[in-house]
Structures are given as structure tokens and as C-alpha cells.
């Protein structure tokens, strides 16, 4: 009932692909890698060029007439007005007031580590008061 053959396996010949790989490892590993990287770069360059062409088509040049119309409708900026407007915003931020909010019924005080009250406990406290 021996399913394996009794003959030993044949050894590979010293020549062939194995010998070439040992002698010139760059041919089997390095050269395909370098060719893949260089070829991929050339292949992706067309996609990259398409991307930039599409971006350029979205941006258009403004004609002189459009430029004149835009400059007429622009609001002139006064540095003093901007300064005082920003100062007023800062003053509004400084005028806040801290307001205390009352605790929920049954809520623990600061130092206590009591668990939060259950729904049943809250209902009982509401009935008492």
C-alpha cells in the first residue's frame, strides 16, 4: 500500500534557468522591475496630462470688458473701517457671562461618585416633590 514511488527524485541539471538565475539575478528580478516602473511612468503620463488639460479648460481668461465691469461693482476697502469692525468683534467676545445651570434631581455633587439615578428613582423623587 505504498502510494509514493520508491524511485528518488531526479536532480535538476546544473544548467538551465536555475544556473542563469544564480549567475545573473538582475535579468530575472531587477530588469523586469525596472521595465515595469519605467513603462508605468510613460503609461500614467497620458492620464496626468489629461488631468491638467481638464483643469486648464475650467479656468478661463477674463476679457478687458469683464474686468472693467468687475472693478466698477467692487466695494472699496478702508483699512480704518476694517480695523474698527474687527475690534468690535473682539469686544463682543469679551462680554460674556458665566451662568450656572441647576442640577437635575438626584444628580450627584462634585465629590460624590454615586451612580446616576435610574428611571424608577427619578420617578419616585418627582412624586415626593
How many CB atoms within 10 Å of residue 106?
14
- Averaged over 54-82, what is the pLDDT? 79
> 114 CB contacts (<8 Å, ≥6 apart)?
108
Question: pTM, whole model, 2 decimals?
Answer: 0.34
Which tens digits make up the pLDDT trace of 12-48?
666 677 787 888 888 888 999 999 999 999 999 988 9
- The domain segmentation of the chain, as residue ranges, is 15-59
Which tens digits make up the pLDDT trace of 76-105?
888 999 999 888 888 777 777 888 888 777
CA distance linking residue 5 with residue 1, whole number of Å = 11
Please give the grid coordinates belonging to residue 66.
469683464
What is the reported pLDDT for 58? 80
Amino acid at each position: 500500500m505504498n502510494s509514493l514511488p520508491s524511485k528518488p527524485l531526479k536532480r535538476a541539471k546544473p544548467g538551465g534557468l536555475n544556473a542563469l538565475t544564480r549567475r545573473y539575478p538582475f535579468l530575472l528580478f531587477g530588469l523586469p522591475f525596472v521595465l515595469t516602473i519605467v513603462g508605468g511612468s510613460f503609461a500614467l503620463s497620458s492620464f496626468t496630462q489629461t488631468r491638467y488639460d481638464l483643469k486648464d479648460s475650467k479656468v478661463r481668461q477674463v476679457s478687458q470688458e469683464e474686468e472693467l465691469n468687475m472693478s466698477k461693482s467692487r466695494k472699496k476697502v478702508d483699512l480704518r473701517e476694517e480695523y474698527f469692525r474687527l475690534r468690535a468683534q473682539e469686544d463682543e467676545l469679551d462680554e460674556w457671562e458665566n451662568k450656572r445651570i441647576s442640577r437635575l434631581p438626584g444628580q450627584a455633587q462634585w465629590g460624590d461618585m454615586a451612580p446616576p439615578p435610574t428611571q424608577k428613582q427619578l420617578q419616585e423623587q418627582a412624586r415626593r416633590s
